[in-house]
Amino acid sequence: MKTINFHRYFYLTVAIFILSVGQVFAQSNSSSIGNSGSFYSLFGVGFPIENNTARESSLGIFGVSLDNAQSNSLQNPALWGKNAFTTTSSGFSFSKFQSTDNNSVSINSSLQANYFQLTLPILRERFGVSASLYPVTRSNYRFLTTNTTVTSENETLEYISDAKGSGGINKFEIGFGWNINKNLAIGYAPSLVFISQDNSRELYFNSNEFGPNIIDTKITGSTFGHRFGALLTFKNLLRSNDRISIGSSFIFPINISTNEKTISTKIVNNQTREVVLEESHGGAAKLPVELTSGLTYYPSPLVNISLEGKLQKWSDAQSSLNSANNQSFELSDRAKLGLGGEYHPYKTNSTSFLSNFRYSAGVSYDTGHLQAQGQDINTLWFSAGLGIISPFSNSTIDLSAQYGLRGTTSNNLIREKIWAFNISVNLSELMFFRPKLN
Amino acid sequence: MTRTNKGFISLCISLLTLVLIFNGCEDPGSVGNNFIEEPVVVYDTLSLDNVTSENYSGYSGNFGFTAIGSYSDQTFGDIEAMSLMKPIREPSIPDSLGIDGNNFSFKLELQLDSTNTYGDTLSVSEFSIYEVTSLWRGNSHRIDTDVTYDNTTEIGSFTIGQEKNIIVNLDDAWKDKYATYLNNEDANADSLYRYEFLGLVIVPTGNTNKISFPRNDSRFLILTEDQSDTVAVSLSSFAYNLDRSNVNQSPTNTSLHSTIEELMKINFPLAQIRENHQSSNILRADLVLYEDTNTLSSSLPVNHSRPNVNFVSLSFGVSSDEVYEYQIRQPNFTGSRVSDGPYFKADITTYLNNILYGQEERDEMVIGIGSNSGIIRSTLLHNESASTELRPKLIITSIVNEDN
C-alpha cells in the first residue's frame, strides 16, 4: 500500500510541477521569454490548433477513432460514452520555429498550455460527460524589425518595431457521449466559443524627442458552437481478437461577432493611463465547417494502426478580420491526412526497462488553411512518442516529439522548420476514489 | 528504488532540462516583415490662425539683474531704463573701524553683467544719480511704476565704457542723510528708514546708446576716513523702470519682451483637433513658432547686440493676476530654439493628450519670454498675418499602418 501511495504522490507532484511551469511561462509577456510561434499565425484569427494529446500527436492523427476506455480525448464526443474512469487531463507544448526567407532567419519559440479536460463516466462505459477548455486558433507571432523614417525637420529617425500577437479563439465545451451498443457510440458537445486576441506593437526611437509608442488591439467576442461525433466498433473482423474503430466528428461553422478596441498608454492629466484610440463593433471572426474521420485497426492488444483525415472549408470563412491583414495571403480549404502506429510492450510480462512504455510514430500532411499566390502553405509532420503508464493506476504521461516543414521560400514566401515537444498528463481516478484492488 | 523508478525520474529530469533550454532560445527577427503592416510616421500640420497680442507691464524689482541705459532699437523702439537702488540700513560695521556718526565716505559699486549688453557695445554711456522722492518697493515694482526723483541735486555721475566694475562717489549730503538712519537706534528706526529714506535712481544722460545690466551683488561701500577700510552695504531693494517709444512693427509680426510688454496669445481649435485626431496614434505634438530673423538681424548694426532669446514660455491663459502668471510662475510648457534655426519648438504632447482624452477645455495659450532675471530681451515672431509657411503651427506626429 505504501508503494501505491508513493507512486500516486510522485505522479501528482510531477504533474503539478509541469503544470505550474507551463502556466507561469504561458502567462508571461516578457520579451525575454520565448512566447512566440509561427509567422503564419499573423493572419486572420490565428493558426488552427490541433488539441491532440501527446499520444495522438505522436501518431500523426487526430484521435477520432482511437478508442481507449482508460483515458480521455477531446477529438470525438462519442468516445466519452466509452470511458471507464473519471479522468482529468491537460497538455502542454513547447515549439521552436526557425523561419527563413530569401534573406534572413528568425527563431521563435513558444511554450503554452493547450487544453484542460475532465470526463466523468455517469454510467461506466455507457454514458459519460466531458467538460473542457481548449484553444481553437492561436496567434503567437512576433516580428522585431529596425527601420528608418524622416522627421518633419528632414532628420533621419531610426526605430525598432516589436510586433506581437497572442490569443485566439477558444472553446469552453460541455458535452456527452453515449455508448448505445457494442458497435455504436454517439456524442454531442455544445460549446461557448470566445475570441480573445491581442495584437500589439511597440516602437522605440533613437531620438529623445520620441518616447516609446505602444498600442494594443484587443479583439473579443463570443458565440455558441456545436459538435457531433460517432464511433463504430467491430471485433473479430479479420482475425480473432482484432478490433476496428471508425470514428468521425463534425463541427458546424461558427460566426463570432467581434468587438475590436485599440488602446494606447498616454500621459493624461499628469497620470499614465490607457486610452481608447479606436473601438468598433460588429466585426466577424469565422470558423469553418469541419469534418474529421478515420479508422484505427487493432490486430492485437499490443499493436494498433490509425489512418485519419480532416477537412476544413476555410474558403467559406472569409471575414473582416481576415481581410484586415495583408492581401498576399488568402484562406483556402484545408485537408490533413495522418497515418500512425502504436506498440504497447507494457502489456507483456517483460521486466526490461524498455518494456514499461508505449511507443508510437506517425506522419501527416497538412495542406494548410492559407494560400499565397496560388500556393498552399502546407506542412509535413514527422512524429514519435512515448507513453509512460502507471503500473498501479490508469494514469499516463505521454510525450511526443514532432518535426515539421511548413511553407516554402519560393515566391518570396516563408519556410518554417518546426520542432515541437508535447506532454500530456492524464490522471485517471487518482483524486476520486481509491481502487479496491491492485 | 526500483529500476523503473530510476528510469522514470531520469526521463522527467531530462525532459524538464530540455524544456528550459529549448524555451530560452529565441531570436525573433525580420523574416516576414514585408507581409505585416509597416508603421509609418506621418506629420499633420495645423496652421493656427486665431492669434492675438496681449500687453502688460512686467515686474522689474529684486531680480538677478537691473537695467540702466538707453538704446534706439530699429525693431523694438527707443528704450530707456533707469534703475532704483536702496542700501540696507544696518550693515555689519566692526567697532575697530572707528566709524562713528558720519565720519565715512559713501560709494556705489556696480557689478555689470559680463555677458549681456543691449545696444552699441563699443559706446560710452553716461549716467547721473539722483535721490528718489516717491515710495517704491522692489518686490512689487513694475517697469511703469511712477517714480519721482529730485533731478535738481545730482548725487553722483559716472560713465560706462568697456569696464564691468564701476565705483561711483556719492554726494556727502545724501551720505549724511543715510548716516542718520544708520546711527538711529530707536525702536521705529526701521519703519522710518523704509518710508523716509527712498534710495537713489540712476538715470541715463547725454548720448547713451546702450543698456547695461548691474548684477544683484552690486553694493554700496562705506569707507573709513583714511580710505584704508571698506564695509560692504548690500542692496535692500532695487528695480528698474523702462520706457519704450517709437516702435515700428510690421503687422505680420508680434514682439515678445521679457518685460511682457507684448505677448502672443493663440487660441487652439479644440473641436477641430478632437474631430481629426481622436483616433490617431499620436507620437508627439509640437507648437512651432517662427522668428523673423531677417528683421532682427538686419536691424542690428555692426557692434550692436541684443541679449539672445533661446526659449519661449507657454502658459495657459488666465483671467487674473496675469503678470505674475505669465512672467514669474513656471510656464506650462517651454519651447526652445531649434539648432540655431529660425523657429522655436515646444513639445505640447501632454496638452494634446488632455484635449483628446482628458476633457481639457483650456484653449488659450499665451506665448512669451517673461523672465525674472531682469535682463531685457526681445524677439519677433511671425503671427497669423504672415505667409502660410511662417505662421504659428501645430505639428502632430502620429503612427499609421501601411500595407506593404
> Tell me, what's the ipTM?
0.76
User: What is the distance between the alpha carbons of residues A228 and A174, in angstroms, rounded to a whole number?
Assistant: 12
Closest CB to B15 among A111, A213, A399: A399
Whether residue B156 has pLDDT greater than 80 = yes
Whether residue A323 has pLDDT greater than 70 = no
Closest-CA residue of chain B to A150:
B41
pLDDT band at A280 (very low <50, low <70, confident <90, very high): confident
The pLDDT tens digits for A383-412 are 999 998 877 777 888 999 999 999 888 777
C-alpha A245: how far from chain center: 24
For range A423-437, the mean pLDDT: 66
Contacts of B30 in chain A (CB under 8 A): 104, 106, 143-146
For range A338-355, the mean pLDDT: 87
Residue type, B144: D
For range B358-369, the mean pLDDT: 96
Beta bridge mates, A116: A90, A133
Gyration radius of chain A's alpha carbons = 24
Q: Which set of grid coordinates corresponds to residue B396? A: 502632430
Closest-CA residue of chain A to B7:
A353
Percent of chain B past pLDDT 70, that is, above it, reads: 91
Q: Which helix (H) or strand (E) holds B379?
A: strand B378-382
In this predicted structure, what is the pLDDT of residue A153? 74
Among candidate residues B19, B1, B10, the one with its CA nearest the CA of residue A388: B10
In this predicted structure, what is the pLDDT of residue A104? 81
The shortest C-alpha distance from A49 to chain B (Å) reads 19
User: What is the distance between the alpha carbons of residues B67 and A46, in angstroms, rounded to a whole number?
Assistant: 72
Sign of the CA dihedral running B307, B311, B312, B313: negative
| Extended beta strands in B96-229, E state | 104-111, 118-120, 125-132, 149-160, 165-169, 200-205, 210-212, 219-224
For range B189-217, the mean pLDDT: 95
3-state helix, strand, coil in chain B (%, to 5): 20, 40, 40
Mean per-residue pLDDT over chain B, rounded: 91
Contact, B93 vs B222, CB < 8 A? Answer: yes
Whether residue B33 has pLDDT greater than 80 = no
Residue type, A14: V
- What secondary structure does DSSP assign to B145-173, as a single string? ----EEEEEEEEEEEESS-SEEEEE--HH
pLDDT band at B174 (very low <50, low <70, confident <90, very high): very high
User: What is the distance between the alpha carbons of residues A316 and A335, in angstroms, rounded to a whole number?
Assistant: 14
User: What is the distance between the alpha carbons of residues B375 and B216, in angstroms, rounded to a whole number?
Assistant: 12
Whether residue A200 has pLDDT greater than 80 = yes
Among candidate residues A182, A66, A70, the one with its CA nearest the CA of residue A121: A70
- What secondary structure does DSSP assign to B286-341, as a single string? EEEEEB-HHHHHHTS-TTEE-----EEEEEE--SSSHHIIIIISPPSEEEEE-TT-
**H helix and E strand count, chain B:** 7, 23
Contact, B76 vs B244, CB < 8 A? Answer: yes
The pLDDT tens digits for A69-95 are 667 789 999 999 988 888 888 988 888
Mean per-residue pLDDT over chain A, rounded: 84
**H helix and E strand count, chain A:** 3, 22
User: Which chain A residues in 266-325 lie under 8 Å from chain B, judged by CB atoms?
Assistant: 266-270, 273, 275, 277-278, 325
The shortest C-alpha distance from B82 to chain A (Å) reads 43
Name the DSSP letter for residue B37: P
In this predicted structure, what is the pLDDT of residue B176? 95
Beta bridge mates, B216: none
The pLDDT tens digits for A2-41 are 444 545 544 554 554 444 444 433 333 333 334 566 778 8
Number of C-beta neighbours around residue B98 at 10 A: 13
For range B292-298, the mean pLDDT: 93
Closest CB to A99 among B32, B278, B281: B32
CB pairs under 8 A between A and B: 157
Whether residue A49 has pLDDT greater than 60 = yes
C-alpha A290: how far from chain center: 15
In this predicted structure, what is the pLDDT of residue A20? 43
B400 contact A CB<8A: no
For range B244-268, the mean pLDDT: 95
- What secondary structure does DSSP assign to A274-343, as a single string? EEEEEEEEEEEEEE--EEEEEEEEEEETTEEEEEEEEEE-GGG---HHHHTS-TTEEE--EEEEEEEEEE
Contact, A437 vs A429, CB < 8 A? Answer: no
Residues with Cβ within 8 Å of B96's Cβ and at least 6 positions away in sequence, in order, are: none
The pLDDT tens digits for A124-149 are 889 999 999 999 998 888 888 888 88
